[in-house]
A and B are shown apart, each in its own frame.
Chain A
């Protein structure tokens, strides 16, 4: 009774929440449930659904295109985590060690500035650079090692996946640099002074003091990187559509093609559900094992 009375007494508070929850119920809660439901059906999106149990899931793991795409995904994910965590940390550490605050601001601004160019434009520009005939990369390679150093890049079965790894060189993610810098700046001057008196400078300080104290940021970006990386397929969609062959196929791209080219909604949804379960698993791992004393908000 008291809960009900309190509820009634504070009913005006719930009014503030109505817009959020109206939007969320329609566009955020309903679709995933609908996807899970559909994944147990054979459905083209128009005619009647046919219940087929877990057949979609079984078929997926016999689908060479999907199984192959998982390998591609793991390679690209591993690569993007390795460079996405390390390069911004090195750059943040360099900026942190600058004495001049003007210079520090200049570099922070410069590295965040590419954010204003749409990601897809960056992808298209890298296709120019990787162009097999007139691209800059082949031009440079030929100048160094002669014509046999030229590569087909996005067009070659063996080089297509590598092309996606090269894109974005030198991989300084501005937002990540700023997040790391926030962590480094949170280290108190006393700690750094005390360390330098004890002779901890340069590499020693980095390994013994800075790195442990930004582990919170590292973990945050690790989990964000895994969640983002598992779903990535836009560049593949617009540049190669998974080819040549299935050399750059991604699970998300299989889903996109199944849903929007072949109208196999149930099958496509099964891929979405699997991705969700994998992400859930990593989130769980993160909460159980790697979550440190640092609190996520």
Chain B
């Protein structure tokens, strides 16, 4: 009897929690649902029924929006994948050395890297702009890649070093006894075992670069080189009253990230929850 009532109480509690969480999910998602509704409206529909879905659906908004922001999306895909892959690759090389070897200056060099995490972006934005201007990199893809590669190093090295250090030593010893050199040990043992954390890091870097608007806004003026989020900023002031295409462009800006997330969400959700960020 007592057992049954406890079970009943737990079930009731679960229902209550589910209701609260579900309401929170709905509220969190509403603006994005509204974006989808609005992206399929023509102007009369938008003016009369902005906040609810309407028929017919105007898919042509997407074609119109793609013409305006398609190039920006491709630019963003290019620069964020190159800077994420390159950034994580260089960070992994350094992290591996810090995790597996003793050498003179190790602590000092590591502290030098980690201390960069205390330097705020606000301090570096202006001098970094002057630097790339003097290097004649303004309005090139380089300016959208190189600083992000550098920016990915401190956190990436910290995270990967911790992870590499946690891998069992026996694996490395046996591989070395089999005559494998350091690079192939890293490639065949350390990297494959670290895929969840490397994936998590890649996603963080891709979204970071994808979402950045300040850096492109000061370094890119050539329309052909704009990234999507920066492009949206100018697009929305130009097309403020063509709401359908505007919201279609907003939706388009998220699609590549949605695709990436669809393939990696399990990895990411588990990577974060299982203490990839150890505290």
Q: List 5 A-B contacts (CB under 8 A).
A: A32-B127, A113-B261, A128-B34, A231-B120, A252-B122
- The answer to whether B122 touches A231 (Cβ under 8 A) is yes
By a CB distance below 8 angstroms, the chain B residues around A260 are 129, 218
Measured in the bound complex, the distance between the Cα atoms of B268 and A115 in whole Å is 12
By a CB distance below 8 angstroms, the chain A residues around B47 are 134
Residue positions of B touching A, CB distance < 8 A: 10, 13-14, 17-18, 20-21, 24-25, 27-29, 31-32, 34-35, 38, 47, 50-51, 90-91, 93-94, 96-97, 101, 103-105, 109, 113, 116, 118-131, 146-147, 149-151, 153-154, 157-159, 162, 207, 210-211, 213-214, 218, 228-229, 232-233, 236, 250, 253-254, 257-258, 260-261, 265, 268-269, 272-275, 277-279
- The answer to whether A118 touches B35 (Cβ under 8 A) is no
Please give the distance in Å from B237's CB to the nearest CB on chain A: 9
By a CB distance below 8 angstroms, the chain A residues around B20 are 94
Known: A185-B273, A279-B120. 6 other contacts (CB 8 A): A31-B123, A31-B127, A91-B21, A94-B21, A100-B14, A118-B253
Query: Is A45 at the interface (CB under 8 A from chain B)?
Result: yes
- The answer to whether A31 touches B131 (Cβ under 8 A) is yes
Of B151, B207, B229, which contacts A28 at CB under 8 A? B151
Of B130, B228, B274, which contacts A45 at CB under 8 A? B130
Q: Which of A227-256 contact B (CB under 8 A)?
A: 227, 230-231, 234, 237-238, 251-252, 255-256
Q: State the interface size on chain A (CB cutoff 8 A).
A: 99
Measured in the bound complex, the distance between the Cα atoms of B22 and A94 in whole Å is 11
Q: Which of A116-130 contact B (CB under 8 A)?
A: 116-122, 124-126, 128-129
Most chain A C-beta atoms within 10 Å of own C-beta, residue among B120, B123, B260, B278? B123
- The answer to whether B27 touches A17 (Cβ under 8 A) is no
Residue positions of A touching B, CB distance < 8 A: 3, 6-7, 10, 13-14, 16-17, 19-21, 23-24, 26-32, 34-35, 38, 45, 91, 94-95, 97-100, 103, 105, 107-122, 124-126, 128-129, 134, 136, 139, 169-170, 172, 175, 178-179, 181-183, 185-186, 216-217, 219-220, 227, 230-231, 234, 237-238, 251-252, 255-256, 259-260, 265, 268-269, 271-273, 275-276, 279-280, 283, 294-297
Of A105, A183, A216, A269, which contacts B269 at CB under 8 A? A105
Please give the distance in Å from B249's CB to the nearest CB on chain A: 9
Closest 9 CB pairs of A and B: A27-B150, A31-B127, A272-B123, A23-B150, A216-B279, A116-B257, A178-B272, A34-B127, A35-B127
By a CB distance below 8 angstroms, the chain A residues around B126 are 35, 255, 259, 265, 268-269, 272
- The answer to whether B131 touches A124 (Cβ under 8 A) is no
